Structure 1
């Protein structure tokens, strides 16, 4: 009798929880998407304006790894300098506006989540921004200076370098954005696990493929062929993958259901 009462109580709780999810038509979804895109564009524009005010300081920051080895940028097209200022201001503005843009993303997906899942909003935003900045900082303070020294000073000492704005900015952005995005791996695993697409067992079972992929990425971004240096670049990404396994175990539906059944 007691078990039947508990089962009825859990069924009612499940129905009540599902009732929290508001039904939205296709047009309402599209209208909500339009609203979030407009708000995100406004935040991005505001971030761009703020970054443009500090464009000279940002440009000096961008050239930092190159200035440390006594080299300066050159340009071959009249628009190169203006384009660089615009790129720097847009990138910095996007980083400044990222918490507000991520909040808009969360507001768009929140109606499809249960009340207990919405508590992840603050950890989600903090972890997303923090991991991206960690990856970008790793690229700026370790990868770029090492790449500049090895590629220009060590390997290019017999030549006269002419580093153009276009080439350097592309190289800079590929490393900074690439590492910033790659450090978002735990966030990607978080969502895949929360929706039951991957499980911690699956991630652990395929860890050898993850290690292979990490070392391939490390070999691409590592400026030196030295295997020990490559390991220095690979270790943070492997650590993030292991953290992602822990995150997957924490949020996977099977664990939540087992916990609810135990209660």
Structure 2
């Protein structure tokens, strides 16, 4: 812990040497980036809304595959579903542009050699999220529905409402998509010198514990085997994050510079 605090203090001191911006300049830059991000989100929402019938069919497919459909319990359920799916799909569609605005906002506080990571960062962020969402949609969601509905619920009448199913669907898909961003988090922590590969390896037991605690919360299946299957991609991603931390940590870059000189 002391090493981590020292790393944070050193990183803050290094950042203090960069050219600064006034408070008003920061606020003006934040306002500009927020406006552009909202505009991109609105465009994504409009495109997603055009294809809302296909989106609803896509969401409902795991239920249709076992012979069920969502049930309306309120006259506005269908409209709420269309709006909700259009917002989420629009956010995913516009996410590369929104992430780029975030990057532009934080880039003034970064060194020139750090700014070269913008395109790998954007590609990895979007790719990992889509990969996590795909893993959830392709494997976790169908398996969970089959076990929970056709297994535990085989002796009951099935009435799966739009609100309950979409909440369950988004929890699995978005939850896994966000969890797959773990290497990106480790990338930034290492890039700014807060952690390094050695720190991550030494504390891997705690990382495994945290991963399984997160899995216990978001995993829709109650058995340990399913939890292990659910957690295994996150463990692989943690190890990937360790490798990323090894290559981007400032100490390694300084060592390369000294060796070159």
Native 8 Å contact 1:134 1:180 kept in 2:
yes
Is this contact kept in 1: 2:18–2:109, CA < 8 A?
A: yes
- Give the equivalent residue in structure 1 for 2:171: 174
1:144 aligns to 2:141 (yes or no): yes
Contact 2:175 2:218 in 1 (8 A): no
1:143 and 1:221 in contact (8 A); partners too: no
Deviation at 1:23, TM superposition (A): 3.0
Is 2:19 the partner of 1:25? no
Instruction: Give the Cα separation in 1 of the matches to 2:18 and 2:213.
Output: 43
SS in 2 for 1:63: helix
For the 8 Å contact 2:187–2:241, the answer to whether it is kept is yes
How far residue 97 of structure 1 moved from its aligned partner, in angstroms, is: 0.3
The Cα of 1:236 is off from its aligned counterpart by 0.9
Q: How do 1:250-261 and structure 2 match up within 5 A?
A: 250-261=247-258
Cα distance in structure 2, aligned partners of 1:40 and 1:132:
18
Structure 2 stretches lacking a partner, 5+ long: 1-14
Any residues of structure 2 matched to 1:58-97 within 5 Å, and which?
Answer: 58-97=55-94
1:39 equivalent in alignment to 2:39: no
**Partner Cα separation in structure 2 for residue 228 and residue 106 of structure 1:** 39
Q: Quick one: structure 1 residues 224 and 170, their matched pair in 2 at CA, closer, same or farther if it must change by over 3 Å? A: closer
Aligned with residue 201 of structure 2, among 200, 204, 208? 204
Query: What residue in structure 2 maps to residue 237 of structure 1?
Result: 234
Shift of residue 32, structure 1, vs aligned partner:
0.3
Q: Report the CA distance between 1:202 and its aligned residue.
A: 1.3
2:161 corresponding residue in structure 1: 164
- The higher relative CO (CA closer than 8 Å, separation ≥ 6) is in 2
Aligned length in residues: 245
**Structure 2: distance between partners of 1:53 and 1:28:** 38
> How far apart, CA to CA, are the structure 1 residues paired with 2:43 and 2:37?
10
Q: Name the TM-score, length of structure 2 as normaliser.
A: 0.89
- Deviation of 1:41 after TM superposition, in Å, equals 0.2
5+ residue gaps, structure 1, are 1-17
Cα drift, residue 21 of structure 1:
4.8
Superimposed CA distance per residue, residues 192-245 of structure 1 (whole angstroms, 9 cap, x where no aligned partner): 111111121111111111112223333444444544433322221100000000
CA distance in 2, matches of 1:166, 1:226: 25
Aligned twin of 1:132: 129
Contact 2:45-2:87 within 8 A present in 1 as well: yes
- In the alignment, the residues of structure 2 paired with residue 23 and residue 233 of structure 1 have an alpha-carbon distance, to the nearest angstrom, of 44
The answer to whether the Cα contact below 8 Å between 2:171 and 2:218 also exists between their aligned partners in 1 is no
1:103 to 81, 100, 106: 100
Distance 1:53 1:83 in 2: 15
